[in-house]
Amino acid sequence: MLELDTLSEIINDALRGIEYPERPEGLYQPIAYILDCGGKRLRPVLTLATCQALCGNSDKALNQAMAMEMFHNFTLLHDDVMDKADLRRGRPTVHRKWDEATAILSGDALLTLATQRVTMNAGEYLNDVMDLFNKTAMEVYEGQQYDMDFEQQDDVTIEQYVEMIRLKTSVLLGAACEMGAIMGGASAEVRKAMYTFGEKLGLAFQLQDDYLDTYGDALIFGKEIGGDIVNNKRTWLLVTALSKDSSGKLHRFIDHCPVSNAEKIATVMEIYNDNDIPRLCTEAIKGYVDDAVAAVKTAGLSPSDEKFFIDLALSTIGRTH
């Protein structure tokens, strides 16, 4: 198996190598802008690694890997418009750097470019990759819709929250793995095993994100700690704490909070600690990592390839950023 960094570089090179029509500039420049952000490229790396583990050649899934990253960036582009976000990875979002109409239209174009890309060199697997791509896209939209719905809703259960992040985030990691398995010629059972690996890894990652926003080290995590608490953001921590808040104290406190941000963070963390939330969260993360590891062990990979995926999953527990 190639190194993680090598796989990321393959993807970055391929994305940089895309040639866009020169005109109309307003359509293609924002696409090049959002795809030119570096980063870990986790989704396409999973596609390449899975394909390589199954047929010894990651190249076969390069277009499908690129399609996964392009789709992911299309969702970021439109989500930023919906959330009215100003910054993405430290740079102005597309709708701030250009305008909202540009962000909507270039996002549409990026979705179609991703769809085109997923069909490229798909050969006998064209039907399978198209079906997986479209089904996953619909699930991601459903997740985003639930996320927006839950912002207006006080009684979200932890099961509803986990289903929302599964749809919004995890199915795309599952699909990234299965896409590589399809292009690597895998059986239905192995495709399913690798999908489950990605899906559970995605859940672990999202919960770890929630955890680190409150319990991370600001310097390593790369952003202010406690932002989710300040913004009353529905996270695994808050949803779980609210489900244990039979006295309604936490509900009232976050609804009408007359204190400073620092006091608010301190008080909510105290409630979290009193309710054992940090331990419950790290246990939940560990549970999803265990599920991911169990799934990949059924895929019949070589010991060294299996280790690659297990190490990737275990790194979630240890990660601090």
- 130 near a copy of itself, rule: CB under 8 A: yes
- 146 near a copy of itself, rule: CB under 8 A: yes
Give me the residues paired with residue 276 across strands. none
Q: Other C-beta atoms within 10 Å of 202: how many?
A: 28
Q: Other C-beta atoms within 10 Å of 263: how many?
A: 11
Task: Tell me the per-residue interface mask from 174 to 213 with a copy of itself, x by CB under 8 A, - otherwise.
Answer: ----------------------------------------
Of 34-42, 44-52, 143-151, 185-193, the segment contacting a copy of itself by CB under 8 A is 143-151
Of 122-130, 188-196, 205-213, 237-245, the segment contacting a copy of itself by CB under 8 A is 122-130
Q: Which is nearer to a copy of itself, 31 or 45 (CB)?
A: 31
Q: Which is nearer to a copy of itself, 142 or 209 (CB)?
A: 142
- Interface with a copy of itself (CB under 8 A), residue total 34
- 161 near a copy of itself, rule: CB under 8 A: no
Q: 32, 87, 101, 220: which one contacts a copy of itself (CB under 8 A)? A: 101
- 112 near a copy of itself, rule: CB under 8 A: yes
Tokens representing residue 199 in the block: 């899906």
- 82 near a copy of itself, rule: CB under 8 A: yes
Q: Taking Cα atoms as reference points, which of 42, 119, 99, 47 lies closest to residue 73?
A: 42
Angle at 103 between CA 77 and CA 116, to 5 degrees: 70
| Contact assessment for residue 183 and residue 53, using Cβ atoms and an 8 Å cutoff | no
| Contact assessment for residue 221 and residue 320, using Cβ atoms and an 8 Å cutoff | yes
Q: Which residues contact 242 (CB under 8 A, 6 or more apart)?
A: 154, 156, 250, 251
| Contact assessment for residue 243 and residue 202, using Cβ atoms and an 8 Å cutoff | no
Identify the sign of the CA torsion 82, 85, 86, 87: negative
Exposure b/e, 136-164, CB count within 10 A at least 16 = b: bbebbeebbebbeebeeeeebeeeebbeb
- 108 near a copy of itself, rule: CB under 8 A: yes
CB of 163 to a copy of itself, least distance (A): 11
CB of 186 to a copy of itself, least distance (A): 21
Of 138-146, 237-245, 282-290, 301-309, the segment contacting a copy of itself by CB under 8 A is 138-146
Residues 227-266 that bind a copy of itself (CB under 8 A): none
- 115 near a copy of itself, rule: CB under 8 A: yes
Tokens representing residue 123 in the block: 């050969």
| Contact assessment for residue 82 and residue 60, using Cβ atoms and an 8 Å cutoff | no
| Contact assessment for residue 302 and residue 214, using Cβ atoms and an 8 Å cutoff | no
Helix, strand or coil, per DSSP, at residue 192: helix
- 116 near a copy of itself, rule: CB under 8 A: yes
Of 10-18, 78-86, 223-231, 307-315, the segment contacting a copy of itself by CB under 8 A is 78-86
CB of 56 to a copy of itself, least distance (A): 27
CA distance 44 to 47: 5
- 24 near a copy of itself, rule: CB under 8 A: yes
- 100 near a copy of itself, rule: CB under 8 A: yes
Q: Which residues are at the interface with a copy of itself (CB under 8 A)?
A: 21, 24, 26-27, 78, 81-82, 100-101, 104-105, 107-109, 111-113, 115-116, 119, 126-127, 130-131, 134, 137-138, 141-142, 144-146, 148-149
